[in-house]
Amino acid sequence: MVGDWGGGDVADVMAGLDEALRRFDWIDPERLGVLGGSYGGFMTSWIVGHSKRFRVACSERAVNCQPSMFGTSDIGFLFNQVELGGIRPWDDMAKYLERSPLSYARDITTPLLIVHSEDDLRCPMEQAEQLFVALKTLRRETMFVRFPDENHELTRSGKPRHRLERFRILLEWFATYLPPAPSPAARAVR
C-alpha cells in the first residue's frame, strides 16, 4: 500500500485470515504457515516481526531493508521514494527504517526460511542476507537458500531443476514445523 507498507495491507490480510478461520472449521488456527514472494515476501517478513500467529514462514525475494533498497534496485530509485510516501531516505530515515522488516528482527520468533536468487536485481541479494544474518545473530530458527543463475522470476520462469528444488525445500521446511495432523479416525483409535 503506497505510503503505508505493512499497515493497512497487513490489516487486510489478517482480516481475511480471521474470516477464513470463522467460516471454515477445518482450518486449524494453531497450525498456520505464511509464505510470500516479492511484495508478499516483504509482507511475510513484516508479519512475522509483528505477529506470533504463524508457526512457520517463508519469505522469498523480499525487500527487508528500505534504506539499502533505495538506489540499488533495477526498478529505479523513484520506486522506494513513491512507495514510502514521496520521501527520500535522507529526508526521513526514520520512516525508511520503520517500514523495514529488518528493524523488527528482534521480534521474529517464527521459524523463517529465506529464499533469494543471486541474480535478483529487483530486490538485491543483500536484502535477504541482512535479515538472515540478523536472525542467526539473534539465534533464531532460520535457513537461507540462495539460487545461483536465477533472478527475481525464479518461481515463474526459473530453470526447472531450481523450481523443483525450491518446492522440495519449501515442502520440507513446512513439514518440519507443520507436520501432518492426525486424522480424526487416528485420534479415535488409541
Question: Which sequence positions are flagged as catalytic?
Answer: 38, 152
Three cell numbers, residue 14 = 489478517
- The count of residues in the chain is 190
Residue 181 and residue 188: Cα distance in Å, rounded? 13
Query: Please, what sign has the CA dihedral across residues 92, 69, 102, 39?
Result: positive
Residue at grid coordinates 497487513: 10
Three cell numbers, residue 61 = 525475494
Three cell numbers, residue 52 = 506470533
Whether the Cβ atoms of residue 152 and residue 61 lie closer than 8 Å to each other: yes
